């Protein structure tokens, strides 16, 4: 986050030049880069899995998938590749037989090495909570 903020400082000067002195190619390019960066930061803030009374929404940096509770057959913890490592992650199994990976994964070898990786107990608790919500609807 601090690295991103450090990148913003020179970009703000270019955007100011764009607004005050008019368009030039460098200022336009900088404004575009700044806009894309801010869009990715906002999108990153809203990533995750969100449940509600009607269903489940899985949002990543690049896509959003919505599932009604009736479309979900269950949740499983399956192995998969992540950054060249084999990890376990929550998979949404739909009634159509489709398996959709989520961003919730157990760290390599069961440990929790960085932000965004969870312990196996945390994922099992989350799956139980989601299953209870699915059953209640």
**pLDDT value of residue 70:** 93
Q: Per residue in 66-119, pLDDT tens?
A: 999 999 999 988 888 777 777 788 889 999 999 988 878 776 654 544 445 677
Helix boundaries (H) for 46-119: none
DSSP 8-class letter at 74? E
| Least confident piece of the model among 12-16, 68-72, 121-125 | 12-16
> Could you identify the residue written with the tokens 């192995």?
79
- Cβ burial of 90 (10 Å; 0-12, 13-18, 19+) is buried
**pLDDT value of residue 69:** 92
Please check the confidence at residue 11 and state whether its pLDDT lies above 60. yes
| Reported pTM | 0.64
**pLDDT value of residue 113:** 45
Residue 108 main-chain phi, psi, to 5 deg: -55, 135
**Residue 57: strand pairing partners:** 50, 66
Of 72, 89, 58, the C-alpha closest to 133 is: 72
Beta carbons within 8 Å of 23's beta carbon, 6+ residues apart: none
User: Order of strands across the sheet with 55-59?
Assistant: 48-51, 55-59, 64-68
Q: CA-CA distance, 52 to 31, in Å (whole number)?
A: 37
């Amino acid at each position: 986050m601090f690295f991103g903020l450090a990148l913003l400082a020179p970009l703000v000067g270019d955007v100011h030049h764009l607004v005050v002195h008019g368009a030039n190619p460098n200022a336009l390019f900088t404004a575009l880069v700044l806009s894309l960066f801010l869009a990715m930061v906002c999108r990153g803030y809203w990533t995750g899995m969100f449940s509600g009374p009607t269903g489940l929404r899985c949002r990543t940096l690049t896509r959003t998938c919505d599932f009604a509770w009736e479309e979900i057959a269950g949740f499983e913890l399956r192995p998969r590749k992540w950054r060249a490592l084999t990890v376990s992650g929550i998979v949404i199994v739909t009634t159509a037989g489709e398996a959709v990976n989520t961003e919730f994964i157990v760290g390599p070898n069961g440990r929790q090495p960085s932000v965004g990786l969870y312990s196996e107990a945390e994922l099992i608790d989350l799956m139980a909570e989601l299953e209870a919500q699915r059953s209640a609807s």
